[in-house]
Chains A and B, each alone.
Chain A
Amino acid sequence: MAELLRTEHLSMEFGGLRAVSDLAITISEGEIIGLIGPNGAGKTTVFNVITGVYRPTTGKVVFAGDDITGWRPDQITERGIARTFQNIRLFETMSVLENVMIAKHVRLKATLSEAILGLPRYGKARQQHYQECLELLEKVQLDDVAFEQATSLPYGKQRRLEIARALATEPQLLLLDEPAAGMNPQESLELMEFVKRIRQEFDLTVFMIEHHMEVVMGVCQRIYVLDYGVTLAEGNPEEIQNNEKVIEAYLGAVDIDA
């Protein structure tokens, strides 16, 4: 398996606070990797650094051979990394389909003047994106609500729409920030299956932050554990479950029976 994402000596400081410290992550193509850690461990910061929201204090991020450190978020998205957010960030005034179509804007091969004049190149490109997005919505089973207002959807579907929107950017790597947050066990189970399925169907590599242990252990092949910005452990679910340091720092003194 070819390496897709690598971080080298990645650190992120906010004033005196070291949110991420000397992080080294390697992700190969096709993997599903988990990132766990107690609250405030710096997990979302890792995502923000990878996607260019923050510029790392030191270190670099290499994606598919390109050093993407310091790139703008939109450039990184175009390069092939898509993400979802911990707190849902949909475009409230738009329909489900329109939300997904936003992702196609950068792929539009026409100019604004062509759009204003209604020239066929724009119309065709737009129509093609419209079809693609409808098909995408079908694949994620949101086609029945394609014309509903995005914010009128139930919570679980809003989460799925966020993932669909990320998929529409045609990514190689998908970063999911707590996709199962606020879901009941049944919904989390469905989400797990969903993530596995889209990885197959869209030929993706997935990197996810998650608190639901069943989800992480059930779906991830390898897991990184973060605590106070420091990598505590790395390994497959079994190794992580039996890692003393992890049990102590993250799961506390409570026994886990998985």
Chain B
Amino acid sequence: MDKHAKLKFILTLLVVLVSFGALYIAQGTMNSFYIRVLNLAAIYAILALSLNLILGFTGMFSLGHAGFMCIGSYVAGILTMSPASKEIIYFMEPIHPLLANVQWPILPAILLGGIIAALFGFMIGFPALRLRDDYLAIATLGFAEIIRIVVTNVIPITNGALGLKNIPSVDSLLVYWGCAIVTLIVLMRIINSSWGYAFKAIRDNEIAAQAMGINIFKHKLLSFTIGAFFAGIAGALMAFLITSIDPTMYRFTFTFQILLIVVLGGMGSLSGSVVAAVIFSILMEVLRFVEQPMNLLGLEISGIPGMRMVIFSLGLLLIILFYRRGLMGTNEFNWNWVLNRLGIKTSHQGKRGEAN
């Protein structure tokens, strides 16, 4: 075994403990705005991680993430709203009697949001994953739009275009980052398992993967369903963060924001996705000033909403032109690198130690 395995395990444990400690302290000391930004970062991280599993590790160009997220949000929202506020909000058409009196706790609602999204992922993946590349992208984009339009129109369940309001608010960093950390750990374990390698084999060379006995369709569907599950979880968290949702939030432009994070972090790097998600959500706030009215060298500019996305688009262009691999490429954060920097010699190939 690796000489430094123990040290690395302790370091990992330490990082996890310290980050939970930091979250706890942050919860007590930071103002609600910063907490909100951090929570949003956690949601973006989950979304980017799940899209990275589909796109970066299995090589499926899917653009249906906003749709799965939409399902997660609505499931969690409907399940947790109080019967009283449901009665007030559903004024166009009363809510379906089966749903009128349910009020679940937060965590089971999040989980069910993920499960229903996974179910839809499975159903959509079944026909769509016979396609690949651009065709798959178009099909999944279409399915995501279909989900949004169905949600807009099944008024007794979703309240249509009016959306849901008064969803219970959750502002605990531990809930959001807890979910993000669980997502990261689960996906890391998948990626490093035999299944993860099967996904990567499909991405690298589908024909060869098939010749190795891997059932391509089954594995693609598995990866897609897992991705949809975590997108649903993120959707549920989103509902609790902003407490009022409506179908227009889940347009395909939202998928492109997540895609941007994945490309920025590196397709095929989980740690890259997390880092990029945090950077993205902080920049989204920092760059708000560009949308304010301003005075440029005597030139009066009234605020232009959406200017931030222009900056992000330019950034994406630059990344694709000059730094295609993104922040991390297909590399992951690993302790060997850190230890070497600190002057502790580790064998350069961690795995070679295991072989001997």
Rounded to whole angstroms, the CA-CA distance of A165 and B200 in the bound complex is: 16
Given contacts A102-B209, A112-B222, A116-B186, whether A94 and B197 have CB atoms under 8 Å apart is yes
Q: Given A91-B204, A105-B195 in contact, is the A165-B212 Cβ separation under 8 Å? A: yes
B355 within 8 A of A: yes
A112-B210 contact in complex given A74-B215, A74-B216, A91-B200, C-beta closer than 8 Å = no
> For chain B residues 177-207, which have a beta carbon within 8 Å of chain A?
186, 189-190, 193-195, 197-198, 200-201, 203-205, 207
Using Cβ atoms and an 8 Å threshold, which residues of chain A touch B198? 102, 105
* Contact between A83 and B211, CB atoms less than 8 A apart: yes
| Docked-complex contact B189 and A115, CB < 8 angstroms | yes
| A54: Cβ under 8 A from any B Cβ | no
Of all chain B residues, which has the CB nearest A151?
B204
Counting contact residues on chain A (CB < 8 A from B), the size range is 35 or more
**B-facing residues in A90-109 (Cβ within 8 Å):** 90-95, 97-98, 101-106, 108
Nearest residue, chain A, Cβ from B348:
A147
Beta-carbon contact of B194 and A126 below 8 Å: yes
Give the Cβ gap from A12 to chain B, nearest Cβ, in Å: 17
Within the complex, what minimum Cβ distance (angstroms) separates B13 from chain A? 15
Closest Cβ–Cβ distance, residue B126 to chain A (whole Å): 16
Q: Is B346 part of the binding interface, using a Cβ–Cβ cutoff of 8 Å?
A: no
| Known A105-B212, A169-B213; contact A94-B194, beta-carbon cutoff 8 A | no
Q: How far is the CA of A147 from the CA of B208 in the complex (A)?
A: 20
Interface flag for A82 (CB, 8 Å): yes
CB distance from B197 to the nearest CB of A (A): 6
Given A105-B198, A147-B351, A94-B204 contact (CB < 8 Å): yes
Q: Does A44 contact B (CB under 8 A)?
A: no
Interface size on B, residues (CB 8 A): 30
Q: How many residue pairs, one in A and one in B, have C-beta atoms under 8 Å apart?
A: 101
Q: Which of chain B's residues has its CB closest to A52's CB?
A: B210
Which partner residue on chain A sits nearest B196 by CB separation? A115
Of the candidates B205, B209, B213, the one having the most CB atoms from chain A within 10 angstroms of its own CB is B213
A116-B189, A126-B194, A146-B355 known; A74+B214 contact, CB < 8 A: yes
On whether the beta carbons of B205 and A78 are closer than 8 Å, the reply is: no
Write out the residue numbers on chain B whose beta carbons fall within 8 Å of the beta carbon of A147.
Answer: 349, 351-352, 355
- Docked CA distance A169–B197 (Å): 15
Is B330 at the interface (CB under 8 A from chain A)? yes
| Minimum CB–CB distance for B194 against chain A, Å | 5
Contact A115 B190 (CB under 8 A): yes
Cα separation A89 to B330 with both chains bound (whole Å) = 20
Give the contacts of A137-160 with B (CB-CB under 8 A): 146-147
- CB within 8 A of A104: which of B194, B216, B268? B194
Does B193 contact A112, Cβ atoms closer than 8 Å? Answer: yes
A101/B214 contact (C-beta < 8 A), A89-B207, A118-B189, A134-B355 known: no
Q: Is the CB of B193 within 8 A of A116?
A: yes
Whether B210 contacts A74 by the Cβ 8 Å rule is: yes
* 22 A-B pairs in the complex with CB atoms less than 8 angstroms apart: A51-B211, A72-B210, A72-B215, A73-B210, A73-B211, A82-B211, A83-B211, A85-B211, A91-B201, A101-B194, A101-B197, A102-B214, A103-B212, A105-B198, A105-B212, A105-B214, A112-B222, A115-B193, A115-B195, A116-B189, A126-B193, A126-B194
* A residues with CB within 8 A of B: 51, 53, 72-74, 77-78, 82-83, 85, 89-95, 97-98, 101-106, 108, 112, 115-116, 118, 122, 126, 129, 134, 146-147, 165-166, 169
Point out residues on B near A: beta carbons under 8 Å.
Answer: 186, 189-190, 193-195, 197-198, 200-201, 203-205, 207-216, 222, 268, 330, 349, 351-352, 355
Q: A103-B212, A105-B194, A105-B212 are in contact. List 12 more A-B contacts (CB 8 A).
A: A53-B210, A72-B210, A85-B207, A90-B208, A91-B209, A101-B197, A102-B214, A106-B214, A115-B190, A115-B193, A146-B355, A165-B212
